[in-house]
Amino acid sequence: MKAILEKIEPAFGSSFTIRRFDDLEEWNRPHWHFHPEYEIVYVSNGRGKRHIGDHISFYDDGDLIFLGPNLPHFGFTEELFEDHIEIVVQMKEDFLGQEFLSKPEMEAISRLFERSRQGISFSGAIKEEIGNRLMKMMELENFDRLLELLSILQLMARSSDYKMLNASGFALEVNAQDQRRIAAVYGYVESDFQGEVNLDEAASRVNMTVPAFCRYFKKLTRKTFSQFVNEFRIAHACRLLGDDTLTIAAVSFESGFNNLSHFNRQFKSITGFNPRDYRKSLKKVVS
C-alpha cells in the first residue's frame, strides 16, 4: 500500500484548485495518496472515516478538514454511501508568492497553515458556514474565488471550533525506503486487522528481525506496533457501534478482538468511553 503521489494542476487562470464531487463513481483518487498541496475537504453529510498518516477516526455528520502538505491519506468518502456533496480545495504554500504568508495581514492564516500539518477537523456552525460558502464559491469568477478563499482561510484561522487530529506524516518526512516500509506495514494491518495480525509477519514484510522492527516502528511512529493495531481495530469498532443490530460482542469480534474483556479495556483506554456509552453518544449525535 505505497502512498501514491497525486499530481494536481490548477485550471488555467487560477492559482489553486477547487473541485466538486456529487457522484460516488466520479471521485476516483488513488486509494492511499499524498501531495505537496494544502487541502480543504468539505463533506456535506453522512458518516465516514478519516485515515491521515497514523491518525484514524470517524466523523458522524459530514466533515470539514484542513490538511497540510505531504500527509498521506485515504479518500474521506471511500466508505460513505449516503448521497453527499464533496468539495476539495488544494493550494501550494506559495500559491500567492514566496512571501505570501510572511505578510503581517496573513499572521493568523500562517498559524493555521502551520497547525494544518497535523490535520484539523472543524465542527459546529463554522463547518456549515464554510461548507455553504465553498459550494457557492464554485460559481464565482477566478478573482472573486480567490478573495473568497482568503476570507474562508481567515475564518478558519480565527475559529476556536476545531479539533487537532495530531496526524503524523512520518512516512513522508523520512527517506523513500522508510516510506515504502511503513506503507507495507499499513497495507498488512489494513487487510488483516480483523484476523490475526502477527508481529513476525509485519517484520518480514519489511525484511527486518522482530527486535529491529519494534525499535524501528516505535522510532518513526512514537507508538508500539501493538498500540497501532489496537487503535486501528478500535477505530473500526467505533464505526460498527453505529449499527444497533450488532451486539457489543459482535462488534468486538468484527474488529479483530476475540476476547470481550480485552476489547472493553482497549476501547476505554483509547477512546475514554466504554463501548455502550460510546454507542449512546452516537445516538445523541444522530438525534
Q: How many domains does the chain have?
A: 2
Please check whether residues 8 and 71 belong to one and the same domain.
yes
Q: Domain holding 74: CATH number? A: 2.60.120
Confidence at residue 28, expressed as pLDDT on a 0 to 100 scale: 45
Q: Residue length, the chain?
A: 287
Please check whether residues 157 and 198 belong to one and the same domain.
no
Please check whether residues 135 and 225 belong to one and the same domain.
no
Confidence at residue 287, expressed as pLDDT on a 0 to 100 scale: 39
Please check whether residues 26 and 138 belong to one and the same domain.
yes
Residue 157 CA to residue 12 CA, distance in Å, equals 28
Please check whether residues 29 and 99 belong to one and the same domain.
yes
DSSP E strands, 116-205: 120-122, 162-164
Full residue range of the structural domain in which residue 152 is found = 4-164
Please check whether residues 46 and 19 belong to one and the same domain.
yes
Please check whether residues 200 and 129 belong to one and the same domain.
no
> What per-residue string of b and e applies to 14-23 under the rule 16 or more CB within 10 Å gives b?
ebbbbeebee
Structural domain includes residue 254:
yes
Confidence at residue 10, expressed as pLDDT on a 0 to 100 scale: 60
Please check whether residues 158 and 263 belong to one and the same domain.
no
Please check whether residues 213 and 108 belong to one and the same domain.
no
Confidence at residue 261, expressed as pLDDT on a 0 to 100 scale: 95
Confidence at residue 79, expressed as pLDDT on a 0 to 100 scale: 63
Residue 223 CA to residue 115 CA, distance in Å, equals 22
- Cα atoms found within 13 Å of the Cα of residue 194, Cβ hemisphere only: 8
What predicted TM-score, i.e. pTM, was given to this entire model? 0.64
Q: Mean pLDDT for each 10-residue chunk of the chain (287 residues)?
A: 53 78 54 80 88 79 91 75 87 86 92 92 95 94 93 96 77 60 83 91 94 89 85 84 89 94 91 85 54
Q: Domain holding 188: CATH number? A: 1.10.10.60
Residue 220 CA to residue 204 CA, distance in Å, equals 17
Residue 31 CA to residue 183 CA, distance in Å, equals 12
